[in-house]
Amino acid sequence: MKPSALDSGDFTLPGEAGHEQLTLRLAKKWGADTIRDSDGTQLSPEIVQSGYAIYSTICLPRSVQPWARVNHDKLQQNFLMSFPVIATKSKTNLTLLAGFFTEQFAVNVKDSPKQWWQVFDRTTGQEVAKSKWSFNPRLGTVTITGTTPGHRYTVNFLAFRLWEEISMYNHLTNNWGDREHLAAVDPMQPETQKVLLAFLEQWLRDHPDTKVVRFTSMFYNFSWFWGSDQKTLRDIYSDWGDYAMTVSPRALRLFAKQFGYSLTSEDFVNGGLYNSTHNAPSRRYCDYMEFIHGFVIDFGRQCIDLVHRHGKLAYVFYDDHWIGVEPSSPRFKEFGFDGLIKCVFNAFEVRLCAHSTGVKTHELRLHPYLFPTGLKGEPTFKAGGNPTLDAKNFWIDARRGLVRAPIDRIGLGGYLSLVEPFPDFQDYIEGLVREFRLLKSFHAGDRPWTAPAKVAVLTAWGNLRAWTCSGHFTKGVELYDVLESLAGLALDVQFLSFDDLVADGVPAGVKVILNCGRAGSAWSGGHFWSDPRVEATLTEFVQQGGGVIGIGEPSALTQPGQQFRLARVLGLDRDGGERVANGKYKYVAPAGRVAGVADHFITTDVTAPLDLGKDVDGIYVFDGSTQVLAERDSSPRLTTHALGKGRGVYLSGFKFTFENTRLLHRAIYWAAGQESGWTKWSSANVKTEATYFAKAGKLVVINNAGEPQTTIVTLGDGRSTRAVKLDAHGIAILDL
Amino acid sequence: MKPSALDSGDFTLPGEAGHEQLTLRLAKKWGADTIRDSDGTQLSPEIVQSGYAIYSTICLPRSVQPWARVNHDKLQQNFLMSFPVIATKSKTNLTLLAGFFTEQFAVNVKDSPKQWWQVFDRTTGQEVAKSKWSFNPRLGTVTITGTTPGHRYTVNFLAFRLWEEISMYNHLTNNWGDREHLAAVDPMQPETQKVLLAFLEQWLRDHPDTKVVRFTSMFYNFSWFWGSDQKTLRDIYSDWGDYAMTVSPRALRLFAKQFGYSLTSEDFVNGGLYNSTHNAPSRRYCDYMEFIHGFVIDFGRQCIDLVHRHGKLAYVFYDDHWIGVEPSSPRFKEFGFDGLIKCVFNAFEVRLCAHSTGVKTHELRLHPYLFPTGLKGEPTFKAGGNPTLDAKNFWIDARRGLVRAPIDRIGLGGYLSLVEPFPDFQDYIEGLVREFRLLKSFHAGDRPWTAPAKVAVLTAWGNLRAWTCSGHFTKGVELYDVLESLAGLALDVQFLSFDDLVADGVPAGVKVILNCGRAGSAWSGGHFWSDPRVEATLTEFVQQGGGVIGIGEPSALTQPGQQFRLARVLGLDRDGGERVANGKYKYVAPAGRVAGVADHFITTDVTAPLDLGKDVDGIYVFDGSTQVLAERDSSPRLTTHALGKGRGVYLSGFKFTFENTRLLHRAIYWAAGQESGWTKWSSANVKTEATYFAKAGKLVVINNAGEPQTTIVTLGDGRSTRAVKLDAHGIAILDL
């Protein structure tokens, strides 16, 4: 491609009214083709009419406030579980909203409590008969009769949400005082749909210069229940993927009609755990998700059609009100969106964006956000901040994903005026965007080289939640760390659910199945392992030459005497404390170059004792067929095991580091039995990674560290090498 | 009492033929009234006729070897679970004893496999139909047809034991070469009973000088299954309290007749976990224990009657073949034993011995055992050893229990000749026995002072296994540490089962209930918490002023959203990883005199950060009503909580140390709401303990440490004090 092609295009700039000159200067410097508004900023006519394409943000459920204020019974709602109360007498009184933030929630007194609510004796686990309790709408209390002293009681009840959570969060975080509390209307009401479509119609007319309508996102927010005392317990519950905040009597009625059975409040409340994405979902809840996904597509499609009828494009932002959107769903394409925009901190989020097949344009919003402070309150664009270094560090994380998967556009967000005092930031972004355009050009009509052995990550969610767990990176959930490692590796990774596995077996070409997470989690799989076909399929897969990598508590679902269903594949199991009397095989203590680590293909690049984060203990191996490569306190941490023609690898935990990424990469090769192919397109220095684009004849070597690096890259013949020197955060492009 | 009364009596000396002079000299020096034989030693006529009472050891099930050798079908047997085999085809072959020690086990080919055995598909958890498998007695294999590739299969089968385990252990440990392998006969066979009674009759005739028949113990050994490779997996299964080695077709038939239902092999095998004492037992297994206990009493009584008819006494040793004896059972007295002998390492074992109500004489066998090496192979009575220091250290541990509970006799065991080169040891034992006699005299007709608040330890076993978990102290089972602490404290401690609690409520006078252990263990209670009356009773107990102390995973039995059934009593719960999306209350970080420890009545004597052993993490509190006194990594480790008029205390683990013993002692006072009574008879220095005997007017102050100590003891008025200086390992007796 011509160098000039690297100078412009594929970049979205946040414009800012009042800073027109800066906006246009940076639009030129950074080669923007598009200018957007942001939360808190507007575009002036001078910007809008400057010839750039314009993105305009819209959040439909919050868009009709005057109507929402007079239609409280059309607001969104959800089930809450009251805080437990212990009975002391045969009559027990309970204030439903005690402990909850009453600016967010109001008890739904409109829909019949006796029809929709449930009262539980949590000590027995039994529902209290509806005749035994009564609701006082004036006091917001429930009185239960016939209670047993010493028993715990809770009420599942419906609550309207008076304050939409993103509005609430921004308002309270930024001390917005008496600025309006925005409420979210429920588009499942036919009347509300009419109001929303009318609003959208008018909005489209009012934004003639807008090229792209940027939905944030569709209708329902991720779940976020606030507590009354925000100093000690602000987030009673917060889950990026739970459909809790879509519920209403209408939704439940329509669900029952469509699925032929009725859901109860407890299907959503689940003893106060709700339906966290991190826990293995029930079948009933999965049905409900399917139902809501269908509704969001149906009504979403009407909105998008309207946008298209106005000659505009519709992009969707993958966060906030994204519930029911599911960009990795096979039905996502039915929305008819033109683009998907993902804000990214990490490489796995780049892969997530690239992974969606229902849109033409995949766009990333990079960090840092143009804001005085970062997410943790640290200075960015103000005194004490170093936004250029921030940008470099975010970029090297995102870039690991960008070299592996094609992304169409990138952009920034926030207050553009803040970058004015930082000329080095302005210069760095100019180079960054060029680097992006160059990488994008290599992806054009080509795919970077990947290892012949495909990898499948097995979780309860499978492809529906590919390249994510639940929102941004969360410490302590090992699969995030694994995904972050995988996101930059030259591997073909796919995501498999237990249902997929049972229905179709291990997909063709997949040589390694990875299962990672704690017992009961959606990631490990929890109750999905109760289907014996899962274990049998994977065991046979390994017997016939496949590889399994288990991390943490893989396949954990307790049977008498066994915790991991794949114990015999991995050659080990976990003792949860029930095996005090059962002897443990005395394995050969690992010893090698690095103290406590046995030398092995997998540990070749290990230079220090393993740091696998907060890993699992109590692991024991069955016999000498399991090789322990690392241990702690007599609990194996890294093992290998052969079964039939195949192999199993176990890691007691995982933490994203360069060394661990390499360890996992090698473990995958070993599990696939493809050690002989390891050197091909590999980079010796673990802080660097190599990517080969065959059509372009380019070898891209990236430095993932903030210090200069040298490395030796082995080429596709597995023998010839190239020595490469890299600047801090740097990249090298070699012509081959 | 007269000083001379301290010079002799109540001491059992191990005599040794060939060392008659030493035997008689030490018998005099130590004031022995009794001489015993030991495993490996004999008494010569000179000793036997020297005027001392004689104890003679007998182990009935091993006593009739010639008969056992020709009656292999009368040997003891048990169920084993074969090691799992993974099917690769529709026909699967499995060698039953693969992995087991074939000098210990032989497949029972006599009793119909189809009647007694079970084959399981462990992948589905289902039993394989009896028509689908066949046994080849010649090869010792089972062939299963219709197997599913990738599934795990195991066979539960009956195996005779060819080698009795104590014989096997001693033989192999001491390299006894071609010395005979003793086998244990099963006294449940009527024919065997006749043989054993005839043997005993003859034995009694052959031992005219024996005063006490010392049974070791009755008929059935604790469970001990050995593996084929003793270097890597000697103990496949080893449990001091499991009744696994009592099973036979005859026992199962008699059980079915008595209880009206049949047990299966899986009731014993339990997926390879067997019925470890450490795990909460099933109801069916408890029935079986009751059945065996009844049989052991019935046939044991016949043996003891025979002893009595010969004018001798019958003592039972509380170890080895003790299964079915259960000295804390209310039925134990039916045996008609005259004495109970317990070997002790720890204070809790002293209390265990004293606790049994079915015998007149409670005797302790102290450590060190007179042997060249100790239990861990360390030198004792040989070069490099310091047996006097060993004796002192064992003594100060046992003495904590001895001051709290009356014991009638003490003694030693082993090879007496070994003490000859250690005159300081000879002198120390002389003083030790005098100290014992003095303490015994204080107990006569009196009980030492205890706090007014009684304590009950709630476990699945309750009083049946009072003052023990399963055999000697096992690291990592916190209740042992707790029992060791309690054993020396001025508290009235009782042991309560869940059945007791449900039937009769909290016993009168009990102010504090203690529940300690990991989830699923017999100590925490596991499935016994599924009866809601347990939680309700304890919750009401606290509401009305009682105290609960939870340690580790108390009351753990998962419900949706809750792990500890007493969570609301303790004001906290454990997050097993399922609460990633659930917010946690931000408590006030503990701070006080000692970094990270809040000042409180309970922590008054804490001088360093808490060391609670391998404690539990993931603890979270509900709200500000729970006070966090210590934490680690944001997980509370020591908390207090008020509920109604009562109190709850939580400790995330427990380890026996002087400071922790004091911490627990104070926690009990606090939970009982009796802080104001704390100073009464308390000793300020945590390495010392004070015991007051009212009738004798004696205040006994012991130094539990190996260095000299000073302390201040507060007297019964809670105000007056005495300063006390103590030698290392020393004791002070104050007249009051």
Write out A583-601 in H/E/C secondary structure.
CCCCCCCCCCCCCCECCCC
Judged by CB atoms closer than 8 Å, whether chains meet at A537 and B150 is answered as yes
- The predicted-structure confidence for A266-280, as pLDDT tens digits, reads as follows 999 999 999 999 999
Distance, CA of B150 to CA of B398 (rounded, Å) = 54
Yes or no, beta carbons of B233 and A585 under 8 Å apart? yes
Catalytically annotated residue among B10, B320, B481, B573: B320
Chain A positions in Cβ-Cβ contact with residue B121 (cut-off 8 Å) = 532
For residue B523, give how far its alpha carbon lies from the nearest alpha carbon of chain A (Å).
11
Nearest to B125 among A272, A277, A559 (CB): A559
Q: Exposed, middle or buried: residue B572 (CB in 10 Å: 0-12, 13-18, 19+)?
A: buried
Q: What are the chain B neighbours of A227 within 8 Å (beta carbons)?
A: 583
One-letter amino acid for residue B641 of the chain? H
Residues 6+ apart with CB under 8 A from A628: A587, A588, A589, A590, A598, A621, A636, A638, A639
Which residue intervals of chain A bear CATH 3.40.50.880? 454-677
- Please give, rounded to a whole number of angstroms, the shortest distance from the CA of B416 to a CA of chain A: 34
Q: Which residues of B touch A635 (CB under 8 A)?
A: none
Helical (H) or strand (E) element with B213: strand B212-215
Q: From B584, which residue of chain A is nearest by alpha-carbon distance? A: A233
C-beta separation of A570 from A550 below 8 A? yes
> For position A2, what pLDDT does the model report?
57
CATH number of B77-163: 2.60.40.10
Burial zone of A688 (CB within 10 Å; 0-12 exposed, 13-18 middle, 19+ buried): buried
Q: What's the rounded mean pLDDT across residues A208-237?
A: 96
Contact yes or no for A239 and B86 at CB 8 A: no
Per the CB < 8 Å rule, is A535 touching B150?
Answer: yes
- Give percent of chain B above pLDDT 90: 95
pLDDT at position B173 is 83
| Confidence tier at B557 by pLDDT (50, 70, 90) | very high
Q: Do B271 and A152 touch (CB under 8 A)?
A: no
**Which site among A267, A580, A586, A625 would you substitute to test the B interface, given the most B Cβ atoms closer than 10 Å to its Cβ?**
A580
Tens of pLDDT, residues B398-414: 999 999 999 999 999 99
Rounded percentage of chain A residues whose pLDDT exceeds 90 = 95
Strand pairing report for B152-161 and B85-86: antiparallel
Question: CB of A601 within 8 A of CB of A671?
Answer: no
Q: Is A1's pLDDT higher than 60? A: no
For residue A413, which amino acid is it?
A: G
B319 is a catalytic site residue: no
Distance from CA of A534 to the nearest CA of B (A): 10
Write the residue in B122, B123, B238 that is nearest to A583 by C-beta: B238
Record: contact A581-B242, CB cut-off 8 A:
yes
Substitution target in B540, B578, B627 with the highest count of A β-carbons within 10 Å is B578
Which among B403, B398, B571, B535 has a CA at the least distance from the CA of B458?
B535
Q: Which of B125, B477, B586 sits opposite A233 (nearest CB)?
A: B586
User: What stretch(es) of chain B map to CATH 2.60.40.1180?
Assistant: 688-735
| A131-139 own/partner pairs: CB under 8 Å, 24+ apart | A135/A109, A137/A107, A137/A109, A139/A95
Distance in angstroms (rounded) separating the CA atoms of residues A27 and A32: 5
Residue B3 has pLDDT above 70, yes or no: no
Q: Which among A150, A234, A540 has CB closest to B149?
A: A540
Mean pLDDT, rounded, of chain A: 96
Residues of A with catalytic roles: 320
Using DSSP's 3-state secondary structure scheme, residue A629 falls into strand
Are A561 and B585 within 8 A, CB to CB? no
B483 pLDDT higher than 90:
yes
Beta-carbon neighbour count of residue A562 at 10 Å? 22
Residue B235 parent element (H or E): strand B235-239
Q: How far is CA A698 from the centre of its chain?
A: 31
For residue B251, which phi and psi values (nearest 5 degrees)?
-60, -40
Q: What homologous superfamily does CATH list for B454-677?
A: Class I glutamine amidotransferase (GATase) domain (3.40.50.880)
Residue B528 C-alpha, separation from nearest chain A C-alpha, in angstroms:
13
Residue A316 has a pLDDT of 98
What is the predicted pLDDT for the residue at B40?
A: 78
Nearest CA in chain B to A272: B561
Kindly report, residue by residue over B411-462, the tens digit of the pLDDT: 999 999 999 999 999 999 999 999 999 999 999 989 999 999 999 999 999 9
Closest-CA residue to B529 (of B501, B557, B550): B557
Measure A474 CA to nearest chain B CA, in Å. Answer: 9
User: Which of B86, B104, B148 to probe the A interface (max A CBs under 10 A)?
Assistant: B86
pLDDT score at A3:
54
With 0.90 as the threshold, say if the pTM is over it: yes
Facing residue for B624 by CB, picked from A232, A238, A470: A232
Nearest CA in chain A to B281: A578
What pLDDT score was predicted for residue B4?
A: 65
Contact A671, A547 (CB under 8 A): yes
Contact assessment for residue A459 and residue A501, using Cβ atoms and an 8 Å cutoff: no
Q: Is residue B1 pLDDT above 80, yes or no?
A: no
Which residue of chain B is at minimal alpha-carbon distance from A273?
B561
Q: Token pair 């302590």 is at which residue? A: A476
Question: Given this model, what pLDDT does residue B555 score?
Answer: 98
Q: Is the pLDDT of residue B39 over 90?
A: no
Nearest CA distance, B303 vs chain A (angstrom)? 32
Statement: residue A175 has pLDDT above 90: no
**A39 pLDDT more than 80:** no
pLDDT digits over B530-547, tens only?
999 999 999 999 999 999
**Phi then psi dihedrals of residue B167, to 5 deg:** -60, -45
Q: What is the pLDDT of residue A4?
A: 65
Mutate to test the interface with A, among B126, B148, B152 (most CBs of A within 10 A): B152
Residue A125 distance to chain B (closest CA, Å): 8
Q: Which CATH class for the A3-64+188-220+289-443 domain?
A: alpha beta
CB contact under 8 A, A586 and B231: yes
Cβ–Cβ pairs < 8 A, chains A and B: 202
Mutate to test the interface with A, among B568, B572, B641 (most CBs of A within 10 A): B568
A523 contacts A474 by C-beta, under 8 angstroms: no
Q: Is the pLDDT of residue A438 over 60?
A: yes
User: Could you tell me if A680 and A448 are in contact, meaning their C-beta atoms sit under 8 angstroms apart?
Assistant: no
CB A529 within 8 A of CB A565: yes
- Contacts with A242 from chain B: Cβ below 8 Å: 581
- Average pLDDT for residues B105-124, to the nearest whole number? 97
Nearest CA in chain B to A538: B150
Compute how many other C-beta atoms are within 10 angstroms of the C-beta atom of residue A205: 9
Q: Is A426 exposed, middle or buried (0-12, 13-18, 19+ CB in 10 A)?
A: middle
CB nearest to A581's CB, from B278, B565, B576: B278
User: Residue A413 pLDDT more than 60?
Assistant: yes
Phi, psi of B380 (to 5 degrees): -120, -80
Q: Which of B84, B565, B624 sits opposite A568 (nearest CB)?
A: B84
- Tell me the chain B residues in contact with residue A518 when contact means C-beta distances shorter than 8 Å: 576-577
Record: contact B583-A559, CB cut-off 8 A? no
pLDDT of A173: 83
Q: Which residues on B lie below 8 Å from A648 (Cβ)?
A: none
CA distance A250 to chain B (A): 26
Q: Is the ipTM of this complex over 0.85?
A: yes
User: B578, A279: Cβ pair inside 8 Å?
Assistant: yes
Report how far residue B175's alpha carbon sits from residue A219's, in angstroms, rounded to the nearest whole number: 78
CATH number for the B688-735 domain, one of 2.60.40.1180, 3.65.10.10, 3.10.20.30, 3.40.50.2300?
A: 2.60.40.1180
Contacts of A338 (CB under 8 A, 6+ apart): A212, A313, A314, A315, A359, A360, A361
- pLDDT, tens digit, 9 for 90 and up, residues A377-386: 889 999 999 9
pLDDT band at B174 (very low <50, low <70, confident <90, very high): confident
